[in-house]
Structure 1
């Protein structure tokens, strides 16, 4: 099977952008040219690779070819950097520097929201700063679901709570992100004056990140069992899908929630927040990436692993 680099780039651009038109703008070619490249790629593979919905999405076969497209793109960028020049067929290369400037490779990475809001950005700052070695395309997703983005070819690496190795990937333990169940004194006085009972947990409003956020429910199930409540507890819920705003909602008294220790520690010390339960909840995190020898990808992995040693607690 003979696959063309331009066709692979067209597939990745369209999936990332969501439409053929947006993918064409990214590649600085016409929509018709993108369509022709995609048809040629489907003819070469003998498979339908895209569902032409809005946004477009890859088929099962398309996910495999998309993974190849990203791997090839990363290898081309690494080789270009090693040669110290710009690829002839890449838009935006060359010009005033006569080809000596090298566009950094783009690395799509899946990161859970709380890691993104606490330790990941400082960890990667030296790679993405003024002397940028890479361009980072961070995809925010719950840690329970980031691994699926590796499987479908959307990203080249992911911070995930899944220790099971994704086929074609390697895995390294990072540590555990520690959470504390907290609320304002006013919420505690209103709902938990008689303690963290099953009845209190059934009635007290809880703040959750989004519909994929299961952390509060895991804690609820454990507390309900300890409190002797035999049924699943389903308290009133506020959804606040942004980490800093989520923390602020808890601090404003919207309800109780589990916050990363880094977000809660200062307010616990000042008395603005109090803990509902002394026992922390530790969510283990792992770094998974494709088994691909890439200096750019390895640099990201090294930065994350090093930072995680200081930011996270050991996995028990």
Structure 2
């Protein structure tokens, strides 16, 4: 039977987290040679290449499987220490573990979209920070799936309903997006309404090149290749909102973000009939973890309070 050694698994996880053997060694408080020896021993034990050496180092598919396993073990061990009453927020501050002893607080890596962080998810994360160390990765809903699949994250808020293998998926609610612009922008570009001709030339604002909400709206209005209007990109949710309010372009905004601007007269919905509902699903690994389940419950409560 293959015996997976904890120190070898921690070395593999550190390489995945930091990207190099040298950085992994610093993370673990050992020499780069020790990390290399542990990786050779682990690869020999499983009979497969786990890491492609380079800068950065890349996990092979078997390496990704073992990293998920390593992170499962670390999370479950932290939960056990909390359950035994020998770890937790107070205990973690009182005890200074050595370099290779896992932090007694559970460490949870989540993927959350910028819009969700800005509009409804942050209160849940603040609540969860009381019992876990959180690393929040900002990624578009659909692109968060890859981070779950390769083991980088243990949970994600995603628009994708189908569960990633090894995960379960739960619908949290829906964010309704509408095409929005400043009143002055509407007066200039859409004086006669959101016509085919106006949409073909009015400047468009997108979050980044992976943001396809505006493209989905334009395809519905202009056809399969809406290449005409110029695009601007502002990759931060708050600044994206401000750029629309100041007339840089029109863009799709969720109601939970645009409501205050509409009430104040800074924003106008110019084609409400073409709203786009984006589902918000919570996907998390299938493993027994009380801390991860508590995070899931906090996220679900925040979603119920804010989403449709």
Query: What TM-score do you get using the length of structure 2 for normalisation?
Result: 0.91
In structure 2, relative to structure 1, the CA distance for the partners of 1:92 and 1:12 (3 Å cut) is farther
Query: How does 1:207-286 map onto structure 2 within 5 Å?
Result: 207-225=205-223, 231-279=225-273, 280-286=275-281
Q: Give me the whole-angstrom Cα distance separating, in 1, the residues matched to 2:31 and 2:118.
A: 38
Q: Structure 2 regions of 5+ residues with no counterpart? A: 98-102
Q: Alignment partner of 1:286: what SS?
A: strand
Which residue of 1 is the match for residue 63 of structure 2? 62
Change (3 A) 1:234 1:92: farther
Provide the C-alpha distance between the structure 2 equivalents of 1:47 and 1:120, rounded to a whole number of angstroms: 40
Contact 1:221 1:233 in 2 (8 A): no
Deviation of 1:262 (Å): 2.1
Give CA deviations for 1:83-141 in whole Å, capped at 9, x if unaligned: 2336xxxx998349xxxxx731110111111111111111121221xxx2101111111
- What per-residue deviation string (whole Å, max 9, x for no partner) do you get for residues 182-229 of structure 1? 01122112221222122211211111111111111111112225xxxx
Aligned to 1:284, the other structure's residue is in SS state strand
Q: Does 1:292 align with 2:287?
A: yes
Q: Which residue of 1 aligns with 2:100?
A: none
* Contact 1:201–1:233 (Cα < 8 Å) also in 2: no
Paired position in structure 2 for 1:33: 34
Cα distance in structure 1, aligned partners of 2:93 and 2:66: 25
Give the TM-score of the pair, scaled to structure 1: 0.89
Q: How many residues align?
A: 297
Aligned to 1:99: none
Structure 2 residue 95 is matched with structure 1 residue 127: no
Q: Which residue of 2 aligns with 1:14?
A: 15
Aligned residue runs from structure 1 range 106-121, under 5 A? 106-121=107-122
* Distance verdict in 2 for CA 1:275–1:37, change over 3 Å: same
Aligned counterpart in structure 2 of residue 147 of structure 1, from 141, 145, 150 = 145
Q: 1:205 to 1:288 in 2, by over 3 A?
A: same
Select which of 133, 136, 141 maps to 2:134. 136
- Structure 1: runs of 5+ lacking an equivalent: 97-101
> Judging changes above 3 Å, is the alpha-carbon distance between structure 1 residues 106 and 95 closer, same or farther for their aligned structure 2 residues?
closer
